[in-house]
Amino acid sequence: MSQIPHASSLPDVLSRLDRLTNWEKKPRNEMRVGLEPMFDLMQRLGDPHRSFRAIHVAGTKGKGSVCALIEASLLRAGLRVGRYASPHVDHVNERINVAGRPVEDARLARAIERVLDCYEAAKREATAGEDATWFDVITAAGFLIFKEEGLEWAVVEVGLGGRLDSTNVVFGEVAVVTNIELEHTEILGNTREAIAGEKVGILKPGAVLATTLAVTDAAGRILQRRADELGCRVLRTDFSEDATIADRNAVLVGLVLDHLGEVGEQVRGTAGTSRPIGAWLLDRTVRDSARLPGRMERVSFRPQPAGPAAQPVPIIMDGAHVPFNIEAVLRDITRSSEVSGDCVAVVALASDKDARGFLTVLSRYVAYAVFTEASGTGRAHPAGELEALARSMGMACISEPDPHRAFGRAVAAVSERGGWMLVTGSLYLVGAVRRIVLKGAD
């Protein structure tokens, strides 16, 4: 009697996966160029990327939050929806959501293992798939799960850039470009116009482009030019300059939802009733359900051991890592009434980020900073160099390479000074600190 093969555990499968090149943890100036490995994997898997309708989201910042809002809205409308995201904060499962929940370990393990088997076959046969990376395999596993679940829609977040990103095998009926700023210049180009050309690479004939960028903006003109070349309609937001990040995201998502309603997508009602999907779905319940870890995440932390006089520390965690975004984050925070007093920041930056620009913004808002290094990226900017740069700008600060000890020193500083703490500069740092914070959350 033959035995059923024992299913591999997720840690075992991830150990196998980790042998592949992971550009999220390496200098990226030598990244592979081309989608041929992804198309090879897709063909071997039965083209799962063609089994669902997709909304494809690119941009310098806000991609994750916009994807989560679209997902929450479509779920509220009664549709079968998945979301593919990157990077993760705590667990790799966060990257693949089905019906609003991260995929379970066993399901993810099976999907990754099947993709890895296809990768091994490509190696044996010397086809393009032999060059597949860690991100290719995770992406392919996500699309395979979406197919197996019979999902109607997938909201797909670009990993990096757009044109050559592993996710760009999908046809996004709506291509979203949230914004364009200087980031990953060694890969995408050193001007906003060049970066716009890469990000609008997700736009395909027959799709619609939705963006916050005006046609009068230099990067916005690049988007419009490409849309004109492909014969694609462009949807643009209209909001005031002082709109919050959350409100800007909601306006952009509202455009997408209104478009889906216009082309016939309906809310699944009861007793045969239905209504076109639209921005009206973005009520407070939907917006609250779309909150993501590490994006303007607020927690009240009580230090341990907590004596009778110990006061909880208000903490906001946000993975902003480019100047324009940390400016928007701090502007929104300081305009709210949820925190008061001095800001003590725990900061880590990757070596390819604009440290001077980032710290220039921080110096206008932060009373004291603790610079550290986000473990696991392989691309951390040395904490001591960040401290030296910050001191040259007149900032009060220290450096502590270990993120756990850096957090402890920041807690002590807030306890002494009063005020609140900001953890920022890297989602990897947020993930490291978040595990401590949530254990001591009120």
Q: What is the pLDDT of residue 415?
A: 87
Architecture of domain 297-439: Alpha-Beta Complex (3.90)
Largest CA distance in the chain: 75
Mean pLDDT, residues 87-99 taken together: 91
Q: What confidence tens digit (pLDDT) does each residue in 255-307 have? A: 999 999 999 999 987 656 678 999 999 999 999 999 888 889 998 888 776 55
Of 53-62, 295-304, 323-332, 343-352, which range is least confident? Answer: 295-304
CA 231 to chain centre: 29
- E-assigned strands of 303-355? 313-318, 343-347
Mean pLDDT, residues 218-245 taken together: 93
Residue 266, phi then psi, degrees to nearest 5:
-115, 150
Q: What is the pLDDT of residue 300?
A: 87
Higher pLDDT, 19 or 104: 104
- E-assigned strands of 29-103? 53-58, 81-84, 96-98, 101-102
Q: What is the pLDDT of residue 4?
A: 40
Query: Pairing between strand 96-98 and 101-102?
Result: antiparallel
> Cα separations (Å) of 257 from 16, 202, 204?
40, 19, 19
Report pTM.
0.88
Please tell me if the domain spanning 10-289 has the same topology as the one spanning 297-439: no
Q: How is domain 10-289 classified at the CATH fold level?
A: UDP-N-acetylmuramoyl-L-alanine:D-glutamate ligase (3.40.1190)
Q: Is residue 108 pLDDT above 70, yes or no? A: yes
The structural domains of the chain, with segments of one domain joined by +, span 10-289, 297-439
Taking a C-beta distance cutoff of 8 angstroms, is the pair 159, 86 a contact? Answer: yes
* Prior bond of 401 cis (ω within 30°): no
Mean pLDDT, residues 28-43 taken together: 80
Residue 243: which of 361, 358, 335, 343 has the closest Cα?
335
Report the length, in residues, of the chain.
Answer: 442
pLDDT > 70: what percent of the chain? Answer: 90
